[in-house]
Amino acid sequence: MSKDTVLIVGGGPAGLSAAAGVAAAGKKAVLVEKEDRLGGAPILSGYAKLVPSGEWAKDAIGRMVDGVESSSNVTVHKSNKVTKLDGDAGNFTATLSNGETVNAGSVVLATGFTHFDSINKPEWGFGTFPDVITTTQLEQMVGSGKIACPSDGRVPERVAILLCVGSRDRQIGREWCSKVCCTVSANLAMEVREMSPETQVFIYYMDIRTFGLYEDKYYWKSQEEFKVKYVKARIAEVTAASDGRLLVKGEDTLVKRPIVIPFDMVVHAVGMDPNEDNPEISNTFGVGLEKHGYIERAEHYTNTAGTTRKGVYSCGSAYGPESIDDSISQGSAAALRVLADMAG
Ligand SMILES: Cc1cc2nc3c(=O)[nH]c(=O)nc-3n(C[C@H](O)[C@H](O)[C@H](O)COP(=O)(O)OP(=O)(O)OC[C@H]3O[C@@H](n4cnc5c(N)ncnc54)[C@H](O)[C@@H]3O)c2cc1C
Ligand code: SF4
């Protein structure tokens, strides 16, 4: 019966968790993922060791993918989108891009986020200099086992990680903190130091938001055990030095002096933008978006998984910048809501 089936859109940590929750309760889930693989950003972007477990993303999230793909209660449609949703809560009919239709009592949007495109911050050198990369590229470099400058393969003597690229930046319309990038950057800095002890790592920051228990495990540990250096600064630009290295120019905001420091590699700690599909998702599913373009919550306390449309729920980074752990918890919360609807 369609009422006892839930349609889950997006196969990242949040959607996998929602599907696993529904399946564990003996109900049916249909999971629709637009890419050809499940796992969401940690798998699609090739993250290395995750915060805070230290486990490789391919193992940790891979375990979630295996659980869902081997469940007889979950039907997975990869390389597909939902193009149309008819009906109401308790009796929806979704049309997929492959032409199939799915009947479901409720829908969970676990459609996640889009990485900020550093091309939108041209003065910081991305797209101009090959040795200016993003944290997702650094994750892949760590995963490959070798830290090397893309331009010529040399081991970098000095690496700068610039925080808040595409977050907390009103000039480019990003008025949010992406929540995980301070901690992720401290984690990456330690991984670089461990793999390449001759490489010095500097983190340029406005303020450090290694929230909750991460202060000790990442902020202090990276400085005290791994000798990562933190520079409180406003960055003006990244340019080329005459010897081919990169110059990070800005103002040290502690001593209020201009600083120009040469680096071999510069890393943008990119933020979490709303999913670029959200206008289309809003249209197809009839859900509202909040002012920045993330999916709008129904309310915060008694219906935290709810959207503005009855019977359509959401979870994880579709609602705004979120960590993997919290996305997984929210996926479970969404599963509980749809199970309650089925019972009701
Ligand atoms: C560089 C970087 C490193 C990070 N490292 C960590 C870390 O170590 N620890 C941590 O806790 N967090 C980390 N994060 C945050 C982490 O990426 C998110 O918390 C997590 O990916 C959110 O999971 P999600 O399922 O909500 O979204 P996503 O991972 O974005 O998954 C959404 C899924 O939905 C699919 N989708 C999107 N739109 C559609 C559509 N229209 N139709 C069908 N499918 C669709 C996508 O293809 C994707 O598979 C990091 C973030 C960045 C930027
Ligand atoms: S978590 Fe840190 S790097 Fe990310 S936006 Fe917030 S303050 Fe900036």
How would you write the pLDDT of the chain (344 residues) with one tens digit per residue?
A: 578 999 999 999 999 999 999 999 999 999 999 999 999 999 999 999 999 999 999 999 999 999 999 999 999 999 999 999 999 999 999 999 999 999 999 999 999 999 999 999 999 999 999 999 999 999 999 999 999 999 999 999 999 999 999 999 999 999 999 999 999 999 999 999 999 999 999 999 999 999 999 999 999 999 999 999 999 999 999 999 999 899 999 999 999 999 999 999 999 999 999 999 999 999 999 999 999 999 999 988 999 999 999 999 999 999 999 999 999 999 999 999 999 999 98
Ligand closest to 166 (CA) is: 2
Distance 177 CA to ligand 2 centre (A): 5
Record the tokens describing residue 57, joined without a space: 């993303």
Q: In what order do the strands lie in the sheet with 158-165?
A: 132-134, 265-270, 158-165, 200-205, 229-240, 246-252, 257-263
Per-residue CA distances from 329 to 16, 305, 313, 323 (Å): 11, 11, 14, 10
312 - beta bridge partners?
Answer: 107
Record the tokens describing residue 240, joined without a space: 């080329």
Per-residue CA distances from 193 to 50, 144, 247, 317, 325 (Å): 16, 15, 21, 30, 26
Closest residue (by CA) to atom 7 of ligand 2? 209
What number does the ligand 1 atom closest to the CA of 39 have?
49
Record the tokens describing residue 199, joined without a space: 């490489």
Ligand closest to 48 (CA) is: 1
Domains of the chain (ranges; CATH) run 2-112+275-343 (3.50.50.60), 118-271 (3.50.50.60)
Entry pTM: 0.98
